[in-house]
A and B are shown apart, each in its own frame.
Chain A
Amino acid sequence: MGPDSTPNQRTGENVQDWYAVLGLSPNAELKDIDAAIEQKSRQASAIANTSPDRSQQIRDMIRAIRADLLSGAEKRQEYNERLTRSRQPVTPPPPPPTIRSVEPMQRPASAAPAGSSPAPLAATANAAASEVGRMASRFRQFLQTGWTCPSCHAEGMPEDKFCKKCGATMKTETVKSTTQCPKCSAEIGANNKFCSRCGASAL
């Protein structure tokens, strides 16, 4: 099960092999596709607390799979043709991991477990894909000084107090101007009337 068990992924023209991602054959029945997607969705739900980014990546992928495979027979046929045209089955995007690496700094190709021997090409494409993903996420972080909504993982601007999507309180990393408590010398907000550590009047 899972995408790891499909070591035959190769590079192609940007058509991702959802069947491989879902661990299904291209003529899989709709109900099996449904079930496989649902499983992915549950995984995304389960890791929403520990890795919001990864959870969101899976959600994005699910949206794409649904658009291609579950939007009517015609769409699916169209997708299947695109997939075949791209000849080589394709590497999925970063979220569905393909290879278990032992040393994180190494590229997946050299760290692939024994038994599966992906072509070097696949490894490069995979590495490139995840590199693009990483750059995109870094750029996003740069734009917004690194946060997403703690609740729905929507992205927000540094000065937002609440998430525009779900209304959650945003925790911005903005550095508040601080002052020292005259009594216990703790660092406290500059506008505080009282020290947030010892309760002494800060005025």
Chain B
Amino acid sequence: MNGAIPALGLDLGTTFSVVAQVSRGGVPTSLPNSEGSPTTPSVALFDGDQVIVGAIAREALATDPEYVVQLVKRRMGSEWIFEYHGVTLHAEHVTALIVKKLLQDAQMLAGAVNQAAVTVPAYFNDTMRAATRYAAEIAGVQVLGLLSEPTAAAIAFGYDNRPEELQGIVVDLGGGTFDVTVLEFDHQDLIVKGTGGDAYLGGANFDKILFDHFVAQFDKQHGIDVRDPDALTVEDFTQVSQDWLLRADRAKHDLSARERTFVQLQAAGLSTRLEVTRPEFEKMSAVLLDELGEKIVDVVSTAGYAPSDFGVVLAVGGATRMPMVKERIRSLFGTEPDTSVRPDEAVALGAALFAARCQMEEGVGLMIEPDAHEYIENMSVTDVSAHSLGVSVFEGAGGRRRLEVLLGRNTPLPDERSQTFYTMHAGDTQIVVPILEGEGPDPDHCVRIGKVVIEGLPPDRPAHRPVTVTMFYDRDGILKVSALDEDSGKSVSTVVERTGETTARGSDAAAEFVKTVKVR
């Protein structure tokens, strides 16, 4: 068999990550890390002049809490920082360290391959997607494409089951994020019809519910609120935080298998043994379940379907293992969720298939079995955007500001839209086009993700002159915007220049730290 080595599929999860690759036999397979496990906890331990990623780092949560970083995916694109040896790391840098470990280990098995498709939650916004791509790049990955996690899972399912025509829905509840994606399989074509979710809802929220329960129970028994600065020093609270979160996670897993579990809690030299029953846990989590249900129904009806329309309901993500989540999916759709693609690995497996597809698109022949090669080559995937994008405009002179949507939610990717607007005042030498992401008409309810600025216009410019704004959504769900002043022909385009730190972040010592530090 001749050809190139298939590229990797990277699933960078909130709690753990998986790398997969299409094997010579044409089967997407997860690649075990250097510790022998197919899943690598997305946890980093900063240990002297090296960084340890994975299970060992996770163990260290209990002993070196300040030197361990976990749940970093929830901080993507945010202002959260971690300072180490005089270097300020943002979430994308810590993610890059995790990617470095994944790539390093994968290369031991897969050979010299640095190309990969990287998955992101469907509901990730532009900033979070760009941060993810940046993280992979500084870790030495050549990113073939970003892919939505539920879409990746659906690709894996489609490849396994080869449905002719089938309407499906993916419910992906991971460690930190929640996605719902409605799609249609039509032979080798996979067409996403609608998506939605929550970038801050996942297994970790259930852990937090247990953690809060622990805090309340400990307070009840010993009269100490461990969060109170007067009760526990920062050092002690840091320890308690990481340790109790670990215990909460363990209790959650326990309660998926057993009706009750016991938790031993220690803080301030006192200890408590706590019993948690499954019904108790389910009662505490009712809010989260209702939120899941509401989100699912919203996505289904926005895409124009009814819950009974789906031939297959794919449950993906570790948190769908919880009996209460399964039960909610079952009752909502009236059908048993399909877990034939392994919930933990489906996303990475689909990403591996997608990566191979990207290579073939570029004309690269792969070292895989011919039938599989042909099938993958003929696959097509159409994804959609999860958020509406537009510009902030004034409703007539002196009117209210409102969001004018150019690319609506559920727009098939890639897509490009142009619209012409008119300036309000005479003598403007500068035109600022604010770019917004959001669903309502009120700009205050949207996120301002950037702006395009046309400068240096003649001071004698009259009012009401046309400016054409073009928005281009690429296949990765990353936005490019350009604005053209029709009079002067002056055009400015930008890969959305994010407001805030993002630009400064890329340049500095942090990227250098990521590139040079030894990762294990």
Q: List A residues at the B interface (Cβ < 8 Å).
A: 1-4, 34, 38-43, 45-51, 54, 57-58, 94-97, 99-105, 108, 130, 149-152, 154, 159-169, 171, 187-189, 192-199, 201
Contacts and interface: CB of A to CB of B under 8 A. Distances in A.
Nearest to A94: B229
A50 B211 contact: yes
B328 interface: yes
A144 to B, nearest CB: 14
A101 B226 CA distance: 11
Contacts of A163: 447
B81 A160 contact: no
Interface string B291-325: 00110111011000011100000000000000000
A95 B446 CA distance: 33
B454 interface: no
14 contacts: A2-B235, A34-B86, A38-B83, A40-B234, A50-B227, A51-B237, A58-B234, A101-B228, A151-B78, A162-B446, A162-B447, A166-B127, A188-B293, A201-B306
Contacts, number: 201
Nearest to A202: B297
B59 interface: no
Contact of B86 (A38, A46, A104, A164): A38
A51 B294 contact: no
A87 B482 CA distance: 60
A54 B237 contact: yes
Contacts of B128: 167
A13 B354 CA distance: 64
Contact of B300 (A105, A159, A194): A194
Nearest to B333: A199
How many B residues touch the partner, as a band? 35 or more
B251 to A, nearest CB: 15
A30 to B, nearest CB: 11
Interface string B69-110: 101001101111111111000000000000000000000000
A166 B77 contact: yes
A166 to B, nearest CB: 4
Contacts of A166: 77-79, 127
B145 to A, nearest CB: 22
Contacts of A39: 66
Nearest to A49: B71
Interface string B38-79: 000000000000000000000000000111110100110111
B208 interface: yes
B444 interface: yes
A188 B296 CA distance: 12
A100 B241 contact: no
A151 B294 contact: no
Nearest to A41: B83
A42 B44 CA distance: 13
A45 B447 contact: no
Contact of A4 (B224, B233, B437, B438): B233
Nearest to A150: B200
Given A97-B233, A151-B77, A199-B306, 15 more contacts: A38-B84, A38-B85, A42-B82, A45-B66, A49-B208, A50-B237, A101-B231, A104-B224, A152-B79, A160-B444, A162-B438, A166-B79, A196-B297, A197-B293, A201-B306
B108 to A, nearest CB: 31
A124 B84 CA distance: 36
B428 interface: no
A187 B301 CA distance: 18
B238 A199 contact: no
A51 B227 contact: yes
B71 A152 contact: no
A45 B233 contact: no
B331 A197 contact: yes
Nearest to B67: A42
Contacts of B306: 193-194, 199, 201
A35 B179 CA distance: 41
A95 B227 CA distance: 11
B474 interface: no
Interface in B215-233: 219, 223-225, 227-233
B307 A194 contact: yes
B319 to A, nearest CB: 16
Contact of B449 (A95, A167, A171): A167
Contacts of B68: 46
Contacts of B231: 97, 100-101, 104
A106 B444 CA distance: 44
B199 interface: yes
Q: Which of A42, A57, A100, A161 is most buried by chain B, counting CB atoms within 10 A of its CB?
A: A42
B333 to A, nearest CB: 6
B241 to A, nearest CB: 4
Contacts of A159: 444-445
Nearest to A1: B235
Nearest to A53: B227
A21 B334 CA distance: 59
Contacts of A189: 294, 297
B332 interface: yes
B77 A167 contact: yes
A163 B444 CA distance: 10
Interface in B414-430: none
B69 A45 contact: yes
A103 B223 contact: yes
B437 A46 contact: no
Given A43-B66, A51-B237, A97 B229 contact: yes
A57 B296 CA distance: 37
A192 B301 contact: yes
Nearest to A44: B234
Nearest to A31: B86
A167 to B, nearest CB: 4
Interface string B226-262: 0111111111011001101100000000000000000
Contact of A47 (B84, B126, B241): B241
Contacts of B77: 151, 166-168
Top 3 A-B pairs, shortest CB-CB distance: A196-B293, A199-B307, A50-B241
B261 to A, nearest CB: 20
